C-alpha cells in the first residue's frame, strides 16, 4: 500500500475509534490537511528539494516524516516545478502545480488548496527532513479543540547568545494564554537591567504553521503591512489583522537544509535518528 493511501486508511480507522469512544469528538469532524510548499528556485540552494539526503531526495525525506503524523487526513506537496512533482509521485502523495511567482509559501499553499474542503491547513517546511511528526499532531489537535485560534505555531528555547543576536533567528514572545504578541529578528525582550536572570526568557520561532482555512483565505487577500515589510516576516501580517496565533513550546528547533553546506550535518543527524 502506498504511504499516502495508508495515511487515509489510518485516519479512517482512527476516526471510527474516536467516534465510538467519544461521541461528538471534534477531531472526527474536522478535515486536517498538511501541505509542503516546495519550489525549485531557492536563492541559496536551487533545486534542493531533489538533492539526495542519505540516498533519497530531500522532499522524500520530508514526506516520510510527515506521513508519521497521526492526525493528517491528507498530505499534499505544492510546487512550481514539474521535476519536483514527478519525484513526489513515487511516494504516493499528491503534488499540485502552482504559479512560480508566489511571494511566500503561504500564498503557494492557499493556491494549492483552492477547491479542496479543509478545516485546518498545516504549512510544513519543505527543507526539514527531521520535522517532528508529534509537533504536527499537537498543532492539529490544538486547532480543532479550540476554535478561538486562527493559527498555531511553535517555539523552542534559545540559549545560545550568538544565535540570539542573529537576524536569521526569529524570536517570539507571547502572553500567559500562549497567544503570540510579536515576532522579531531583533532580540526580544530587551533586558534593560544587566542583573535580570534571562534563563528561559528567549524563544526561537519554529517555522511551522497551522491555519484555520477561513483565516488563511483572509490572510492571503490582505496586503503586507508595514511591520511585515520591515521585518520580512509574514506572520506579522496575521497579527496586524487581529489574528490570534497560539505558540506551542517544543524542544525541537528543527534542522533545515538552507545551503549545500548544511547537507553533511543534516545527513549525520538523520542517520542518528534512524538508529534510535
Domains of the chain, start order: 3-275 (3.90.550.10)
DSSP code at position 229: H
Q: What is the pLDDT of residues 1-53, one digit of tens each?
A: 555 555 555 555 555 544 544 455 555 568 999 999 999 988 889 999 999 99
Query: Which residues have C-beta within 8 Å of that of residue 230, sequence separation ≥ 6?
Result: none
Percent residues over pLDDT 90 in the chain: 81
Round to whole Å and give the CA distance between 142 and 176: 16
Contact between residue 95 and residue 50 where contact means Cβ atoms under 8 Å apart: no
Rg of the chain on CA atoms, in Å: 19
Distances (CA, A) of 189 to 77, 161, 249: 36, 14, 17
Q: What is the pLDDT of residues 198-249, one digit of tens each?
A: 889 999 999 999 999 999 999 999 999 999 999 999 999 999 999 999 999 9
Q: What is the pLDDT of residues 130-151, one digit of tens each?
A: 999 999 999 999 999 999 999 9
Q: What is the pLDDT of residues 45-57, one digit of tens each?
A: 999 999 999 999 9
Query: Which residues have C-beta within 8 Å of that of residue 53, sequence separation ≥ 6?
Result: 61, 129, 257, 263, 266, 267, 270
User: pLDDT at position 20, please?
Assistant: 47
CA nearest 112: which of 84, 142, 147?
Answer: 84
Q: What is the pTM of this model?
A: 0.88
Mean pLDDT of the chain: 91
Amino acid at each position: 500500500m502506498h504511504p499516502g493511501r495508508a495515511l487515509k486508511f489510518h485516519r479512517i480507522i482512527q476516526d471510527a475509534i474516536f467516534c465510538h469512544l467519544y461521541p461528538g469528538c471534534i477531531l472526527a469532524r474536522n478535515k486536517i490537511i498538511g501541505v509542503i510548499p516546495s519550489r525549485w528556485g531557492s536563492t541559496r540552494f536551487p533545486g534542493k528539494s531533489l538533492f539526495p539526503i542519505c540516498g533519497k531526495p530531500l522532499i522524500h525525506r520530508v514526506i516520510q516524516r510527515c506521513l508519521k503524523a497521526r492526525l493528517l487526513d491528507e498530505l499534499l506537496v505544492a510546487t512550481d516545478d514539474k521535476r519536483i512533482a514527478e519525484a513526489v509521485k513515487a511516494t504516493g502523495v499528491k503534488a499540485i502545480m502552482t504559479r512560480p511567482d508566489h511571494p511566500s509559501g503561504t500564498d503557494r499553499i492557499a493556491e494549492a488548496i483552492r477547491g479542496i474542503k479543509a478545516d485546518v491547513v498545516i504549512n510544513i517546511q519543505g527543507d526539514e527532513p527531521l520535522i517532528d511528526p508529534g509537533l504536527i499532531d499537537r498543532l492539529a489537535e490544538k486547532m480543532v479543540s479550540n476554535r478561538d485560534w486562527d493559527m498555531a505555531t511553535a517555539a523552542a528555547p534559545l540559549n545560545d547568545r550568538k544565535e540570539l543576536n542573529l537576524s536569521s533567528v526569529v524570536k517570539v514572545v507571547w502572553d500567559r494564554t500562549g497567544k503570540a504578541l510579536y515576532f522579531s529578528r531583533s532580540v526580544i525582550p530587551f533586558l534593560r537591567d544587566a542583573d535580570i536572570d534571562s534563563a528561559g526568557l528567549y524563544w526561537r520561532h519554529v517555522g511551522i504553521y497551522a491555519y484555520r482555512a477561513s483565516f488563511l483565505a483572509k490572510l492571503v487577500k490582505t496586503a503586507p503591512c508595514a511591520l511585515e515589510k520591515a521585518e520580512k516576516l509574514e506572520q506579522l501580517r496575521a497579527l496586524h489583522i487581529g489574528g490570534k496565533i497560539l505558540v506551542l513550546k517544543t524542544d525541537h528547533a528543527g534542522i533545515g537544509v538552507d545551503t549545500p553546506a548544511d547537507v553533511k550535518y543534516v545527513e549525520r543527524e538523520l542517520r542518528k535518528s534512524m538508529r534510535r
